[in-house]
Amino acid sequence: MRRIIHLDMDAFYAAVEQRDNPAYRGKPVIVGGSPTARGVVSTCSYEARKYGVRSAMPLREAGRRCPHGIFLPVRMKRYQEVSAELMAILHDYTPLVEPISLDEAFLDVTGSEKLFGPAEEIAREIIDRVESELGLTASVGVAHNKFLAKVASDLQKPHGFVVVDPDKVEAFLAPLPVRRLWGVGPKTLEVLSELGIKTIGDLQATPYERLRYRLGEAAAESLSRLAFGKDESPVVPEREPKSIGHEVTFAQDTADRYFIEAVLLELCEKAARRLRKKAQLARGVTLKLRDAGFKTITRQTTLASPTDLEEIFYENVQRLFSQVKWDGRPLRLVGVSLSGLERKENEQGRLFAEKEDELRRLHQAVDRIRDRFGEAAVTRGRLLHRYGRKEEKKG
């Protein structure tokens, strides 16, 4: 029987802010930006949640609910540093660590029990180290598969510790709302509600054929297995990202094409720089636009050969932008993502390689200058100042 631990940090971004600034401890901390901004809450402390503030809530709504809250910008670089320390602790117990995000991971400790003791003891030791070494708290679930461990870790947050007895799985799941099952989104939840299914226990008691008739074979099979706690998915360590991207939400909607194109160029530049740092190339380019009415348009294209040069990405983004039926409507958000990633050492010989290599050497020199002196050390004349833009999100 496998032994899986799911670890989920408690209010990670807000907890890091409270740790780094003791004056924030015990107070409602809301990470995401100003309460007058148009963004959303990234994370909030448990003190803020008492006022009804939640992740993904508009910052303005959070400001109305908790006007005395401490609103802070996202310090992604800092959270990544702390996440690296967290992952180092987890790797002390097993090489089978699957990060889900900066503050969440699965661990397969089946083969580690001979060295460190039962999975429950390993989990206890990990959360004790997280608290003593990082000054943060975490919630964990321990079970014989990933699904059950994930459900368990979420039941008693913050500082939760739940172990699932393999002989009592059905009883453990039965009282929980059906939305806790993987794959149950708004549409599936609506269908299940129409069938009178509100809890996982309701689903356990529903004839399979009835589910299959309403949901289809694949969904019915998946939900039925999960309802009885069956999940064979393995812990997959350190997967390479499938795409790299950046997007920007403007402080004010804009229809200024010159400004929008300048922002898109900067996004291409940032994404290409990340590729070069990882010694990767990308073959796919995707443009994302969202207007003031929250209508989102995406367009994508595939390059003839993979590259890490922003000029090529931007040329294709411009072409995609020109094909969109935009009609000059003010835009709220723009984004660029690169996909079809591959290692640079696998690159095939191609035409015009000498010219591209010369351009790449120039970019690598600029990258080194920025690494040493900061992003603003070298800028393009084509790029506009950040004034007028609210926030940036990495993908």
Catalytic residue annotation: 104
C-beta neighbour count of 131 within 10 angstroms: 13
Placement of tokens 């073959």 in the chain? 283
Nearest Cα to Cα of residue 136 among 253, 2, 13, 315: 13
Answer for the pair 139, 158: CB distance below 8 angstroms, yes or no: yes
- According to the 3-state scheme, what is the secondary structure of 142-188? EECCHHHHHHHHCCCCCCCEEECCCCCHHHHHCCCEHHHCCCCCHHH
Maximum CA extent, the chain: 66
Placement of tokens 């461990």 in the chain? 149
How far is the CA of 115 from the CAs of 119, 236, 393, 394, in angstroms? 11, 21, 41, 38
Answer for the pair 39, 390: CB distance below 8 angstroms, yes or no: yes
**48, two tokens:** 């803020």
* Cα 52 from chain centre: 23
Answer for the pair 219, 227: CB distance below 8 angstroms, yes or no: no
